Structure 1
Amino acid sequence: MSTPDQRPHRSGFVALVGRPNAGKTTLTNALVGEKVGIVSNRPQTTRHAIRGVVHRPAGQIVLVDTPGLHKPKSLLGKRLNDVVRDTLSDVDVVVFCVPADQPVGAGDAFIARQLREVRAPIVVVVTKTDIASKKAIAEQLMAAHRLVENAAEVVPVSAVGGDQVTLLEDLLIGLLPEGPPLYPEEQTTDEDVERQLAELIREAALEKVRQEVPHSLAVTIEEIIRRPDTKRPDGEFVEIHALLHVERDSQKPMLLGKGGQIIKAIGSEARVGMETLLGARVHLELHVKVLGEWQDDPKKLNRLGY
């Protein structure tokens, strides 16, 4: 309960939408102040609606970083779009991310049409201003105004450089309803640990492989074994077994690499993030499995958690 001299505390859900690779996850991580979603220059990196929690004295923002809205080419793509639409029907504010370094195109117009049915206020954020000229940013701001004529705000932001991130936080809190915090202060995401571990592996793999593998890649955690760490008193040692699923036999050697070099590099990179996440030493075992055409198979999608 606020006194007459205090501003009322506000809290609510904010969905970030935009075409694939528009900077949504980088912005989520910048607002939260730590990594809650994986970042890659490959489209369709985010496959689940990730909740990141921003704690500020004036309010609490629960950020939902959705997959990129797009015209689907597979059952997975359709399900990703369904995740976005389900999310939009149940949030207090929508942030529409439009990158400053690329002209507004058909993908942005497609999303703007979807947003016409949304009742929540829309804030258009022109992202990636650190890699665009002032002229390009000004043109994109005008294009954003034309794209969403009823936008509550249009804000240029660099999540990488931190420019205007605090201003955006203040704007979003001001648009939220009055209410108590929805999550405890120590919590920054509601992603379960197993999914976060799988996403760390997928992020490392996306950085290491090329060609068509990224879209065909899914990761599952098969087993987590915890035991006392013999090298650190009171420490924990965690053994993690994971599978990297691809769709075709020809993709398997791309992930393994010559003499297993690529899969080892993926494991080394992912393990660093895992040890930070778990606060423990980690042994990571990775194996590659072919799961034929899983993106269009309902049963396989369910098995992989989509």
Structure 2
Amino acid sequence: MDVHKSGFVNIIGLPNTGKSTLLNSLVGEKISIITCKPQTTRHRILGIINEHNFQIIFSDTPGIITPVYPMQKIMMQYVKKSLEDADIILLMTEVGKLRNFPMFFNEIKKINVPIIILINKIDKIKMKYYNNILHDSVNYWKKLFPNSEILPISAIKKTNQDFLMKKIISLLSEHPPYYPKELFSNKSERFFVNEIIREKIFCLYKQEIPYSVEIDTILFKEKKNSIYISSYIYVERDSQKLILIGKNRNSLKKLKFLSIKSIELFLKKKIELEFYVKVSPKWRYNYKKLKFFGY
């Protein structure tokens, strides 16, 4: 009888280092939204890989920051929790960017689990600088985490991804699956609809708008050949509502069009989508509202 392995592999790191790109690439599904802007990921999202002899539960987390307001404080609590229940930690960094974050890095050093330092975005290094930049990055992280394994990768190009998977499987403990084998995430379809809409807002709007937005899908009704979805888009100010809707509702129409395309691709069904834009003043600072939004 085959030995079955299972474990929680938690991905942590600074904002915009490629954590969500890596998770999506490893799991083979678009679990986490990806944009070029920092602090896109707000929740802790599990992506599950199932094979007959192992189950790996990957966890994507918000980028490590110094929190300013309540929503960010909750986001950092997700990161701290991921340090507590990890069987393996993947610490994502970006090649050439030598940054320290003492508060979290000191916590990581106290943890008695394998830590793999992933130096991401090696595909962006110009060839004539490749060896020097990579050498400096490896040495920097080796000094900070002398007992950790270091692996240069490109999450977007999947460079060294097979090697990473083999290493993770070798470090897993013998254990039955934690989740049913048919699951690929712990999140609901409504959650992914919300995230897809929010991703499109990050792509279409600038400055503060994406960070002031939250989505609440109030209706998710499966019909014979389609799914009817009704979602509220919350912003903090009336001026943001006007920007989100746009002149003659053109901006909202574009957001709806792009959202439908991506939701249909994800759910593999025809989608009917309705938006309602509402103002919820300072919701990021209000713990009651944050709880309502699932934080």
TM-score range, shorter chain: over 0.9
Structure-2 residue corresponding to 1:144: 141
Contact 1:98 1:144 survives alignment (8 Å): no
The CA distance in 2 between the partners of 1:258 and 1:30, in whole Å, is 38
The CA distance in 1 between the partners of 2:239 and 2:152, in whole Å, is 43
Code of the aligned partner of 1:274? I
- Is the deviation greater in 245-254 or in 154-163? 245-254
Residue 56 of structure 1 and its aligned partner are, at CA, apart by: 4.3
Residue 187 of structure 1 and its aligned partner are, at CA, apart by: 2.4
Alignment of 1:207-246 (within 5 A): 207-228=203-224, 236-246=225-235
Structure-2 residue corresponding to 1:113: 106
| Secondary structure of 2:30 counterpart | coil
Structure-2 residue corresponding to 1:264: 253
Alignment of 1:119-198 (within 5 A): 119-133=112-126, 134=130, 135-151=132-148, 153-198=149-194
The CA distance in 2 between the partners of 1:224 and 1:287, in whole Å, is 14
Contact 1:19 1:111 survives alignment (8 Å): no
The CA distance in 1 between the partners of 2:276 and 2:170, in whole Å, is 48
The CA distance in 2 between the partners of 1:69 and 1:60, in whole Å, is 27
- Is the deviation greater in 199-208 or in 250-259? 250-259
Instruction: Give a deviation string over 1:52-108, Cα, whole Å, max 9, x none.
Output: 0123465321101111121101101110111111121112011100011x521244x
Structure-1 residue corresponding to 2:97: 103
1:74 lines up with 2:69 in the alignment: yes
Structure-2 residue corresponding to 1:88: 83
Contact 1:10 1:176 survives alignment (8 Å): yes
Structure-1 residue corresponding to 2:268: 279
The CA distance in 2 between the partners of 1:272 and 1:137, in whole Å, is 39
Residue 274 of structure 1 and its aligned partner are, at CA, apart by: 1.4
Residue 256 of structure 1 and its aligned partner are, at CA, apart by: 1.5
Give the root-mean-square deviation of aligned CA atoms.
Answer: 1.6
Structure-2 residue corresponding to 1:233: none
Residue 301 of structure 1 and its aligned partner are, at CA, apart by: 0.7
Structure-2 residue corresponding to 1:300: 289
Code of the aligned partner of 1:248? R
The CA distance in 2 between the partners of 1:142 and 1:258, in whole Å, is 53
The CA distance in 1 between the partners of 2:140 and 2:21, in whole Å, is 22
Residue of 3, 7, 10 corresponding to 1:15: 10
| Secondary structure of 1:11 counterpart | strand
Structure 2: gaps of 5 or more residues: none
Instruction: Give a deviation string over 1:10-52, Cα, whole Å, max 9, x none.
Output: 2100100001111100000011112111111121211111110
Residue 178 of structure 1 and its aligned partner are, at CA, apart by: 1.1
% same residue: 32
Structure 1: gaps of 5 or more residues: 3-7, 229-235
Instruction: Give a deviation string over 1:153-207, Cα, whole Å, max 9, x none.
Output: 1101111111101111111111111123333443221211110110010011110
Q: How many residues align?
A: 291
Structure-2 residue corresponding to 1:253: 242
Alignment of 1:51-62 (within 5 A): 51-56=46-51, 59-62=54-57
Code of the aligned partner of 2:145? V
Contact 1:50 1:189 survives alignment (8 Å): yes
The CA distance in 2 between the partners of 1:290 and 1:70, in whole Å, is 27
| Secondary structure of 1:287 counterpart | strand
| Secondary structure of 1:124 counterpart | strand
| Secondary structure of 2:85 counterpart | coil
Code of the aligned partner of 1:120? V
The CA distance in 2 between the partners of 1:46 and 1:260, in whole Å, is 28
